[in-house]
Structure 1
Amino acid sequence: MLADTLQKSGFLAAFFCLLLGTFTARADEMPALTVTALQEKARLLKLAEHPTWLSLLHISGGKARILDPNFQLGEPGIGAQATLEQTLALLYGAEAESAVCRFPARQLWLARQLGMPRRPLAHCSALEEFRQRAPLETASLVFASENLSQPSSMMGHLLLKISGRDAQQRPLAHAISFFTDTATANLPKLFYESLLVGKRGYYTLSPYSEPVARYLAGEQRNIWEYQLALDEPSRELIQLHLHELRQTELTYFFDSYNCATLVNFIVSLAHPTLREPRGGWLTPLDVIKEAKAAGAIASTHVQPASRWLVRSLNEQLPSAARDEVQRAVHQSQPPASSAEATPNGFFALELARAYNRYLYEQGQRTHASWQAYEQQLGALRERSHTGKTLDAGEYKQPTATPPDAQFSVGWREQGEDGVVELRLLPASHRLEDDNRQYFSENALRLFELALQQGLRDGKLRLGALTVYGVESLIPYDSFTQGWSGRFELGWLPQNQADLRSRAKPAVHGGLGLSRRIAADVDLYALAGASAAYADKGAYLSLEPELGLIVREIGGMKSLLRYRYHSRASGQNIGLHSWQATQFLPIDQRNALVFDYRYKRRPGLARRELSLHFKRYF
């Protein structure tokens, strides 16, 4: 074995490895040569390439995601090997007493890998205070559903919940969150800063009850908790690493270092295969899906927002029963049907409880009146529905949504012209996609690019570049109301005088109402407008829209839309546009999309057909 070592690494490396084995177990008695020997042994073991070491440094795709030189121990790009050697020099050199407090997780992991004794941490007052304040016996991924009004949470928000008992055996739960400031109406500036130069990131530790109250009551967003499968060594390593991050300056990048990527690095300390996610843009749902596929999820628990619960229970009851519940709640009386020991009686009771809580959270009911009515309904529940529980976890499953990125290729016929069209959507989904696991029919398109190759002239054109596009068609109901709307910003298809479409700088918007006229049929109407730039300058156009969405068997979906354009291409010419889209899923990652459009203005009409193959990834 010694001969092999000499052949592979040379006499000097073998000498240091042998020298390392003669050191005593007392860390404070190690001679100065220990650092050099440890560095050499780390090279032999290739620790700088170990997935856990790369997770500790938040490196993925060969790039360090934390830019703080005090964390990487050098300028960004210094590399995992150089940071490893610098870390060993600190942990086992003259500054060891302070270094072990700065990098306790690195010290723990390196000691395990190198067979070295662990240095004591009792003198690290900030670390000890953190461990006592935020014990970690269990850890959970927490997903707050999408909030389309907040740019940083358009795809949901992911945080880490850590729970345990303190020295007095009191249960404690805390949230580890990472976010940035998005309080601006200047979307171009926001995207520029968060995508190219980075924004200041805020890494916070707070009582878990605070984000729960904000998401559930304040923003009416559902919360899913996914408890992680962790052994004791992993729990200790994660807790120490959380403290390392508290001392680090973090820069937030919307696409490459956000709440999802930071939490994913933390989880990968226990499950190393998760460090390098598949695809490009890692979203909160991607983290949960990958963790589930890797067997890292031990259990799941959902906390539904009252608005979501009201809507889901509404779907379980006939119209007359819903009206009865609403009247009863406003009169603070139990619904008559809720006393019946039947499924509908139980649903009526739970709807009354959810609506009562929703009114309180919206400031329409005092705490005293909410509590008194809740006690009244609780007593009825004990009498008539003992042992029954409402499991909201199976109603909607975020992990069952399609992947958050897609690519499509297809053919589009535009009268006598034809084009081959390539479309890339790095995040997140279109209206025709399978939205059954979302709160409502919706779309979110970030930096969607469409390129068209002409079949006759061979020219390559920009079909569209949607910097930011969102649609939310929330069905209106008498309990919680609900507005629908759409907004698009980018180089968007604009109808020319000849009814051909060309990408032009534009902003589209609309606001209106949607109604669920049947279980799988939504009807909507939006009062819309657009501002665009054409050859003769900027112009405004009114664009009201009517639409019908039908969800069909096997995940198929049909969309019918009508839109009127008051000024096509900036001219005082009214244009009518009809569109029919058919979505045909092949499997979970592939689909076909057929689209037919008919446009008409005085003296001219045009038909367009297209067929696209779509791949989710």
Structure 2
Amino acid sequence: MTRWAGWLCVLGLFATSAAQAAPGLAQLQAQARAENLAASPLWRALLHYEPDWLGEGVHSTVVTDWFFLAPDGRRDPAAELDATLAAFVEDRQIADRDRSAACTFIARRRFLVDRLGLDEYALGGADCEKYQRWREALAPRQVSLIFPTAFPNSPSSMFGHTLLRIDSSRRARNTELLSYAVNFAAAAGDDAQGLAFAWKGLTGGYAGIFGLFPYYEKVKQYAWIEHRDVWAYPLNLNAAQTNRLVDHLWEMDGVRFAYFFLSKNCSYQLLSLLEVARPELELTEQYSWYAIPADTIRTIADVPGLMGTPRFRPSLETTLRWQADQLSADQRTLARAVAADDVALDGPELAALDPADRAAVLEVAHDYLYYRLQSDPASAPADQAHANAILLARSRIARPSSFAPVPTPETSPDQAHRTLRVAAETVYEVDELSLGLRIRPAYHDLLDNPGGYTDGAQINFLDLGLRIDPDEGELRIDDLTLLNIVSLSPRDDLFKPVSFQVNTGLRRRPSANVFDNVDNNLGYYLQGGPGLAWGDDELLGYVFGLGSVDANSALAPGYALGAGASVGVLAYPTRRLQLKAETGALEYVAGEAGYYRWARFAQQFNLSRDLGLRSEFGWENTALDSGLRATIGLQAYF
């Protein structure tokens, strides 16, 4: 009897322990409600809830149905928490994932286990073999924020891009290319491009999805093919925060989000991932209307201790330009001839050089040919073979590279000016003074402080100019720039890019003046064209061919088509001063006859990173009037 009593006692203790480890579903749900877990910032981050624009409710930015275990889980955090507990306790299967709920929603399960004080596997998950293999392959040690700089030639990347890099604990030092990249992008397909792509991206025509890729693939895409410099910012997350972020990435497999190019984009969703790691940060709250990568980087940088010192990776083009500048003009010409296979690798032209110079010429020749191959992957196999031959010839010269490494820019993107700009100015025009106010949500123009931005790139979005007549107190719209892009890519011995500009919005024609007796209604316009640029990051000259269309009720047939050109110079003599001089003319060749001619000189002096003093002096001439226009005012960046 004593032996049986002992066994009964052991079994009783086991049953009691099991009951404590796994309370009933009703008890778990009651405890969760008592502790108000559905209102926890972490629970809301895991389900990607955000406040409704109207009303006091919330909704999730996720649009995938199976992600929610309650019928109304997309809008009801409490119902979703109850349903999630039920799915774990009942060992429910998620058909779309071909695994149990406990093995699908790892981060959710661990959140509930931790907050309800349960054993690790009290809600299931002990047999998640696919997750374990995936987790072991990643072996996460550190997370870094990656910022490929702006790429004006692509609508989806003209403001830059952000992604995360997960470094493995098994990775050796300086082998970050073997890490994994976490990318969020529109699920648009490889053939999506042009105006249709831009329109659908702006209006929510695509879903957004997270992807996990080998990091070297993203570096190849951004730094080698699109020729964008890349900044890497290590994030100071502890082991628990890193693990929670990685667990949530597993939950994101196949999950689709509402995607909007200006708001629910890559940067916004990466902030939402960081909120899973550190929910108290509430990083997404300030980005209800639009999220620009450069701004989100500065938001992270503003959190004390979260972001480490950045590391700069120059693009292939940046590297090649830097190396070519270290050659003489004759050596650059020879390197280009070697790349074109116009000079034999064992010919007298190369043999006449000393070994160090010959090695440098061969390196530039190979990198230049490789640059062209990356830009045009359909190049002939003969070009690939020639690149290998140049590399072989270089390997026979037993000397290290003589090129100095590409210097890191003085200003990193997180230290650049903010993108929302408000300007208050005094305007002189037709012998009268008026007050002007400009508001631009984004992003950067050629007279803004250039530190941390792409050289020669200008993107203005929704730039609104207002004027107040001092005599009448009348407030009028001066102009509205819907989108203005200028890309100045300098040409040299090796590179022959074509620059371009496009500008569209509302402006006044046929009179350039706002307060006069000429009928100068606001009308839509579209203007732009190709161009050429020469120079460097301190002095740049350019010329553009221009085409223009104006649709305006002040014009006799309602429209005017124009053609012309502009020429200008952009100078950055010091870090605090930007100068720009430009002149141009448009002759209207269809619709209402006329012309528009201008000459302007503008400057901005940077009082601080986010405050500048700007002035502009110009002469404008139309078929109806002409005169001087001058403005001076403060530019503040927020």
User: What is the TM-score with the length of structure 1 in the denominator?
Assistant: 0.83
Identify the residue that residue 75 of structure 2 maps to in structure 1.
78
Q: How many Å separate the matches in 2 of 1:27 and 1:544?
A: 80
- 1:140 and 1:228 in contact (8 A); partners too: yes
The CA deviation at 1:80 is 4.4
Amino acid paired to 1:253: F
Q: How many Å separate the matches in 2 of 1:308 and 1:332?
A: 27
1:275 maps onto 2:283 in alignment: yes
Identify the residue that residue 113 of structure 1 maps to in structure 2.
115
1:284 maps onto 2:293 in alignment: yes
Q: How many Å separate the matches in 1 of 2:453 and 2:326?
A: 17
Amino acid paired to 2:75: I
- 1:328 and 1:335 in contact (8 A); partners too: no
1:469 maps onto 2:503 in alignment: no
Matches within 5 A, 1:248-327: 248-272=255-279, 273=281, 275-276=283-284, 281-294=290-303, 295-298=305-308, 300-316=310-326, 319-327=329-337
Count the aligned residue pairs.
583
- 2:491 and 2:533 in contact (8 A); partners too: yes
CA separation of 1:385 and 1:445: change in aligned 2, threshold 3 A: closer
- 2:32 and 2:116 in contact (8 A); partners too: no
Deviations 1:354-378 (A, max 9, x none): 3243133243762232223224335
Q: How many Å separate the matches in 2 of 1:453 and 1:101?
A: 63
Identify the residue that residue 4 of structure 1 maps to in structure 2.
none
- 1:325 and 1:352 in contact (8 A); partners too: yes
Amino acid paired to 1:203: F
Identify the residue that residue 54 of structure 1 maps to in structure 2.
44
1:565 maps onto 2:574 in alignment: no
Matches within 5 A, 1:329-478: 329-330=339-340, 331=343, 333=345, 339-340=355-356, 351-362=364-375, 363=379, 366-380=383-397, 382-385=398-401, 390-394=405-409, 397-478=412-493
CA separation of 1:291 and 1:115: change in aligned 2, threshold 3 A: same
1:524 maps onto 2:542 in alignment: yes
CA separation of 1:379 and 1:459: change in aligned 2, threshold 3 A: farther
Matches within 5 A, 1:146-225: 146-164=150-168, 173-180=179-186, 181=188, 183-186=192-195, 190-191=198-199, 193-197=200-204, 199-225=206-232
Q: How many Å separate the matches in 2 of 1:610 and 1:81?
A: 56
Identify the residue that residue 104 of structure 2 maps to in structure 1.
102
Deviations 1:510-534 (A, max 9, x none): 1110111x66211110000111102
Identify the residue that residue 559 of structure 2 maps to in structure 1.
538
What secondary structure sits across from 1:548 in the alignment?
strand
Amino acid paired to 1:107: R
- 2:545 and 2:564 in contact (8 A); partners too: yes
- Of 132, 139, 144, 2:143 maps to 139
Q: How many Å separate the matches in 1 of 2:585 and 2:259?
A: 41
- 1:41 and 1:114 in contact (8 A); partners too: no
Q: Any stretches of 5+ residues in structure 2 without a counterpart?
A: 1-14, 53-57, 94-98
1:505 maps onto 2:524 in alignment: yes
- Of 34, 37, 40, 2:33 maps to 40
Q: How many Å separate the matches in 2 of 1:238 and 1:601?
A: 60
Q: How many Å separate the matches in 2 of 1:58 and 1:338?
A: 62
- Of 23, 28, 33, 1:30 maps to 23
The worse-fitting range, judged by mean Cα deviation, of 521-530 and 437-446 is 437-446
Q: How many Å separate the matches in 2 of 1:450 and 1:498?
A: 13
Alignment RMSD (CA, Å): 3.6
What secondary structure sits across from 2:448 in the alignment?
coil
What secondary structure sits across from 2:490 in the alignment?
coil
- 1:426 and 1:446 in contact (8 A); partners too: yes
Deviations 1:8-31 (A, max 9, x none): xxxxxxxxxxxxxx9846687422
- 2:617 and 2:631 in contact (8 A); partners too: yes
Amino acid paired to 1:57: L
- 2:525 and 2:549 in contact (8 A); partners too: yes
Deviations 1:46-81 (A, max 9, x none): x44544333323345675451435545455872545
Amino acid paired to 2:497: G
Amino acid paired to 1:304: P
Identify the residue that residue 55 of structure 2 maps to in structure 1.
none
The CA deviation at 1:277 is 6.1
The CA deviation at 1:608 is 1.0
- Of 577, 580, 599, 1:578 maps to 599
- 1:107 and 1:118 in contact (8 A); partners too: no
Deviations 1:198-248 (A, max 9, x none): 532233233333333222333222333333333221222111101211242
Deviations 1:270-318 (A, max 9, x none): 3442624656532222333333443333454444322222223344555
- 1:109 and 1:237 in contact (8 A); partners too: no
The CA deviation at 1:442 is 1.6
Amino acid paired to 1:309: T
Q: How many Å separate the matches in 2 of 1:392 and 1:549?
A: 23
Q: Any stretches of 5+ residues in structure 1 without a counterpart?
A: 1-21
